[in-house]
Structures are given as structure tokens and as C-alpha cells.
Amino acid sequence: MKLRGFYAIVDAPASPDAAVALAERLISGGACAIQLRMKKAATRDVIAAARALRAVVRGVPFVVNDRSDVALLVGADAVHLGQDDLSLADARAIAPGILIGVSTHNLAQAEAAARAGADYIGFGPVFPTGSKEKPDPVQGVAALAEAVSAVAPIPVVAIGGITVARAVDIAATGAAAACAIAAVNGATDPAVAARAIARAFS
């Protein structure tokens, strides 16, 4: 899976129209992927937002968080799994041919995901983050660099507490991309913030 720069997340949109509006801003900012993340939403709402995004996200991978069944149903390019979700093998059984990313929170988990055949790996939180109710222990930039080296050539997306100011340090580790929710989606102009992070990897 080709990833380079800013990995975008459309997080808990209020409606399919809101999801599309944010995705379009993020794509205009140079996002290399768009992931839909709706942790607490009803399945029908996730499907509605996913279908709306699938209709407009072209040229970069469209990823559905957690739900292999929804990813298959809407024709997403990939599904992204957490440590408490389906196993990678079970996800492939449900959605054969769909790319699979896995969130990992330490070196052992990253290596396990690589052995299991993940197409890309999320690693973090690299810095303290407010996007999760119970975040995993902060790993730091050095641990990110170690994970990148350990799972190469599988692309690694840095997650957790990423800001525009920290993007250069993230890129220097060899990570393929950086994911930021608060620093981009909450910015006055998400496209400008997204572009600034993407630029660190150019």
C-alpha cells in the first residue's frame, strides 16, 4: 500500500454530508489516505457515511475503521484494525482482497502485525493524545524509529499527538506518514494544516 505524507481521519462526522465536506478539505490538503472512524455510531450511520465517502474519495485509499463488513459492503480499499478488533486472518476471511492496516502500541505488536501480513501499520501514540478515552502508553520518537526499522518495508503511519510542529521529527524516523486528528480537523483551515504535515514528508 502506497502511503506517504498525511494520513487523514474523518472522525465521528455529524452526518454523511459533514463527512464528505471534511474529506474534500483533507484531500485538497494532500491527504494520502482517508479513513472513516465512527467508534460509537450505529451500524446504519457508519454505512451511510462510508457510502458517501466512497463516492467522493478517489485517487487515494479509502479506509474504514474497525469494520471489515462495512469496508466490503461499500467497496472500501482497506480496513483498519485495532488490537481489540478481529484478527487480521479473520478480517481477510470476511473481506478478501481488501488491504488491512493494524494499530500497534509497542514494538512487539508491530512485529506481530508484520508477521501476520499487515499491509501497513499504525504505531503510537508517539506523543500524548486526547483522541482516545483510554490511550496506550506513550512510545516516543525513538520507539517509532525502531518499529519502522523492524517492520520494513511495510509502511508505518505514526499516530498519537501529532502536530504540524512535530511532523518533521516524525518524517525523520522513516515513517511513511503521520496521522493527526485534533491538529488538522480542529484547525481553522484543515486543508492548510494537512498540507503542512504532508510537506514534512516531501
Q: Which of the residues 15, 28, 132, 149 is marked catalytic?
A: 132
User: Is 37 one of the catalytic residues?
Assistant: yes
Q: Which of the residues 37, 67, 166, 195 is marked catalytic?
A: 37
Contact (Cβ atoms closer than 8 angstroms) between residue 110 and residue 103: no
User: Is 131 one of the catalytic residues?
Assistant: no
Q: Which of the residues 25, 103, 166, 195 is marked catalytic?
A: 103
DSSP the chain: ----EEEEEEES-SSHHHHHHHHHHHHHTTEEEEEEE-TTS-HHHHHHHHHHHHHH--SS-EEEES-HHHHHHHT-SEEEE-TTS--HHHHHHHSTT-EEEEEESSHHHHHHHHHHT-SEEEE--SS--SSSSSPPPP-HHHHHHHHHHHHTTS-EEE-SS--TTTHHHHHHTT-SEEE-SHHHHTSSSHHHHHHHHHHTT-
Residues identified as active-site: 37, 103, 132
